């Protein structure tokens, strides 16, 4: 993406334009109807309309500021307080914040001058998780002979196609017919974060509704304090019992729309009109087929399918931020059937700033679940 444009034109509208252009090419003369962008108000506010002291991120959508801040923090391996005074993010008291602004301008300049406006260099390219980049190669600290580069074994040739990979996935989880027989799942398990396991309910309903209820041990005013994360079929929201819920930002909602897909194997081609086979890769000791997908109103994804079992074992989705892409990785394991359709009973979601694992202990299918269960509390 051209660096100059990301800073002036809201990234979201730029995406719409790119997707529209791509669709126009593939569909020939067929007019392209833009898809709804999940959870997005008609005119997103810009960063400077919502925040008080924006100079470098002017023109980007306001909901991209936090993802950009997380991207910076992860790139430098620091927390917010490295640049910000607690509770006063608009203040310019810290020299690090001033340096960060200069760095944003520098990054834009490098990409403009040396990479034809493609965002090739980001904070992470130089910083690699440290506030102070190193400018010299390290000296040798042992007298062992220098390590030869690991031999790169070319992935075994494979004749797989997008269709055959998806077909194998559908079959592996029980087949299209079986999948269409299931309309809800009510599951109980635990969410494990920071070594602590907390009881969780995961309730899903076809075609794309989902809520997770985390039963925190702490009480608020004598009431149970549950954390809620939901996608109501159109938009995502988050909240805690007894307090007003908040809408997810556009990118959060788009990511959450994927988690809410009830029969993902059957919907992949529809969700990602641009679905291409990537280079096969080995991850976690498994040889995998790789598909790269993008589509309107959805994050760009990379999907890994175990060539042996055929199931989806990893999804990496990329959130565009004004300064670089932030990855979220979800590893799916322990595929088991509640009835006749296999689903992962465990998944681990990892981001640049943390990770958690959800482990399902038990579940039931086709229990009636009212749509109201997924609606944002008023």
Task: Tell me if the bond preceding 207 is cis, omega within 30° of 0.
Answer: yes
Q: How distant, in Å, are the alpha carbons of 75, 86, 103, 322, 323 from that of 91?
A: 22, 10, 18, 21, 21
Which of 260, 160, 165 lies closest to 206, judged by CA? 260
Span from 124-132, 245-253, 267-275, 310-318 in contact with ligand HEC (CB under 6 A): 124-132
CA distance 310 to 288: 9
Angle, CA of 307, 311 and 314, to the nearest 5°: 95
Neighbours of 132 (CB within 10 A): 8
Q: Do 313 and 286 meet the contact criterion of CB atoms below 8 Å apart?
A: yes
Q: Residue holding tokens 């300049």?
A: 109
Specify the residue, 248 or 291, whose C-beta has the smaller distance to ligand HEC.
Answer: 248
Nearer to ligand HEC, 32 or 51 (CB): 51
Residue that is written with structure tokens 């079992």 in the block: 309
**Closer CB to ligand HEC, 15 or 82, in the complex:** 82
Q: Is 55 in the site for ligand HEC (CB under 6 A)?
A: yes
Residue from 1, 16, 59, 70 in contact with ligand HEC (CB under 6 A): 70
Candidates 72-80, 190-198, 218-226, 238-246 — which segment interacts with ligand HEC by CB under 6 A?
Answer: 72-80
Which residue pairs, CB below 8 angstroms and at least 24 apart, start in 192-201?
192/356, 192/357, 192/358, 192/359, 193/354, 193/355, 193/356, 193/357, 200/358
Please give the Cα distance from 59 to 46 (Å, whole number).
6
| Binding flags for ligand HEC, 2-41, as an x/- string (CB under 6 A) | ----------------------------------------
Q: Does 89 bind ligand HEC (CB under 6 A)?
A: yes
Range 316-345, binding ligand HEC (CB under 6 A): 323
The region of 26-34, 82-90, 200-208, 359-367 touching ligand HEC under the rule CB under 6 A is: 82-90
Q: According to the binding rule CB under 6 A, does residue 121 interact with ligand HEC?
A: yes
| The binder of ligand HEC chosen from 17, 99, 181, 220 (CB under 6 A) | 99
- Candidate residues 11, 37, 83, 186; the one interacting with ligand HEC per rule CB under 6 A: 83
Alpha carbon distance 170, 176 (integer Å): 6
Q: How many residues bind ligand HEC (CB under 6 A)?
A: 37
Segment contacting ligand HEC (CB under 6 A): 53-61, 202-210, 213-221, 255-263? Answer: 53-61
Q: Report which of 340, 338, 296 is spatially closest to residue 17, judged by C-alpha positions.
A: 296
Rounded to the nearest angstrom, the gap between the alpha carbon of residue 229 and the centroid of all alpha carbons in its chain is 15
Work out whether 86 is an interface residue with ligand HEC (CB under 6 A): no
Task: Give the binding range for ligand HEC (CB under 6 A) out of 28-36, 99-107, 250-258, 362-370.
Answer: 99-107
Q: Which of residues 126-155 bind ligand HEC (CB under 6 A)?
A: 126-127, 131-133
Residues that bind ligand HEC (CB under 6 A): 51-57, 65, 69-70, 72-73, 76, 78, 80, 82-84, 89-90, 96-97, 99-101, 103-104, 107, 121, 123, 125-127, 131-133, 323
């Amino acid at each position: 993406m051209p660096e100059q444009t990301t800073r002036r034109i809201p990234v979201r509208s730029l995406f719409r334009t790119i997707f529209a252009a791509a669709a126009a090419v593939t569909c020939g003369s067929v007019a392209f109807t833009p898809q709804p962008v999940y959870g997005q108000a008609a005119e997103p506010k810009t960063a400077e309309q919502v925040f008080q002291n924006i100079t470098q991120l002017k023109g980007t959508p306001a909901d991209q500021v936090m993802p950009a801040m997380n991207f910076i923090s992860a790139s430098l391996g620091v927390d917010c307080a490295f640049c910000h005074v607690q509770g006063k993010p608009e203040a310019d008291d810290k020299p690090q914040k001033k340096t960060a602004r200069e760095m944003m301008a520098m990054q834009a300049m490098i990409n403009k001058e040396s990479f034809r406006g493609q965002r090739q260099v980001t904070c992470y390219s130089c910083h690699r998780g440290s506030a102070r980049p190193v400018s010299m190669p390290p000296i040798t600290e042992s007298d062992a002979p220098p390590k030869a580069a690991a031999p790169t074994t070319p992935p075994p040739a494979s004749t797989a196609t997008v269709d055959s990979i998806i077909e194998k996935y559908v079959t592996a989880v029980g087949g299209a017919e079986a999948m269409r027989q299931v309309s809800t799942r009510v599951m109980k398990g635990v969410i494990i974060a920071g070594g602590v396991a907390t009881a969780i309910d995961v309730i899903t309903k076809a075609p794309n509704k989902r809520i997770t209820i985390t039963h925190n041990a702490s009480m608020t005013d004598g009431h149970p304090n549950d954390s809620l994360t939901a996608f109501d079929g159109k938009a995502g929201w988050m909240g805690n019992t007894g307090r007003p819920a908040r809408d997810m930002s556009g990118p959060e909602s788009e990511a959450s729309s994927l988690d809410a897909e009830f029969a993902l194997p059957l919907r992949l081609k529809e969700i990602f009109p641009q679905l291409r086979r990537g280079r096969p890769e080995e991850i976690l000791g498994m040889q995998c087929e790789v598909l790269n997908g993008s589509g309107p109103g959805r994050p760009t994804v990379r999907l890994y399918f175990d060539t042996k079992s055929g199931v989806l074992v990893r999804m990496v989705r990329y959130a565009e931020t004004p300064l670089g892409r932030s990855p979220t990785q979800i590893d799916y394991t322990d595929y088991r059937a509640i009835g006749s359709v296999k689903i992962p009973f465990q998944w681990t979601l990892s981001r640049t700033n943390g990770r958690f694992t959800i482990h399902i202990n038990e579940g039931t299918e086709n229990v009636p679940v009212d749509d109201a269960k997924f609606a944002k509390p008023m």
